[in-house]
Amino acid sequence: MVGDYNPAVTAHVAIPRALEIASLTTDNPVEVVWVATTALQNPGEALHGFDAVWCVPGSPYASMDGALGAIRYARETGMPFLGTCGGYQHAVLEFARNVLGYAQADNSEVNPDTEMPLVARLSCALVEQHGEIDFAAGSRIARIYATPSAVEKYHCSYGIAPQYVGLFDGSALHITGFDANGEPRAFELTSHPFFIGTAYQPERSAFAGAAHPLIQAFVSATAGKLTSAG
């Protein structure tokens, strides 16, 4: 778990429970280890020996560079990756900077004066709000959910600025989840074994004791990677 653990953050309480449920329902053992963003000056060294990365909510992070470095490491090494809420935002930012070459892309929550606010304040905050997500036909996330739409819970005030969505056209990063207004709410990397980000927090399902299909898929992808590695 890449993030700065805080027991007062609801998602930080939910995620270990959600992973435990997914572990039991997929019959794949899971060990949860928290890695603070400040411990990621050398992501390859800090994450060596881990099998997957979940970049968790709770931004702004103590070290934005640490979070971005961990995301890049997972992307470049093929480690299964899940980013929810703040993790989703920073995964999009990492891709824009390091793959598309937009070094100036930034998060306006951290840098209000940025010339390119790729991650910006939402026109309508989604704090403790539920919303319906429509999945792109044929996408991996649609296959995981096995349904064309789902209702999920948010706790966010920032997201991908609509005016920059077109930057990703033709790239490996596909926006595959949309709200009722067509604004981006989930993405996946088609060039990666498992790399998915969501603006919403699927981990909240743990409070109802429910197994979430996306978290089950994340755990299964991790187990599959271990099996293929021998």
Q: 190-223: string of b/e by CB count within 10 Å (b at 16+)?
A: eebebbbbbbbbbbbbbeeeebbbbbbbbbbbbb
CA distance 228 to 106: 36
The verdict on whether omega for the bond into residue 202 sits within 30 degrees of 0, i.e. cis, is no
CA distance 173 to 71: 14
What CATH architecture is 10-228?
3-Layer(aba) Sandwich (3.40)
The verdict on whether omega for the bond into residue 57 sits within 30 degrees of 0, i.e. cis, is no
Three-state DSSP class for residue 118: strand
Q: Confidence band (pLDDT; 50, 70, 90) for 225?
A: low
**pLDDT tens profile 93-151:** 999 999 999 999 999 999 999 999 999 988 666 777 788 999 999 999 999 999 999 99
Three-state DSSP class for residue 129: strand
| Domain boundary assignment for the chain | 10-228
**pLDDT tens profile 52-92:** 999 999 999 999 999 999 999 999 999 999 999 999 999 99
CA distance 108 to 118: 8
Which value, in Å, is the radius of gyration of the alpha carbons in the chain? 16
CA distance 86 to 69: 14
Specify the pTM: 0.94
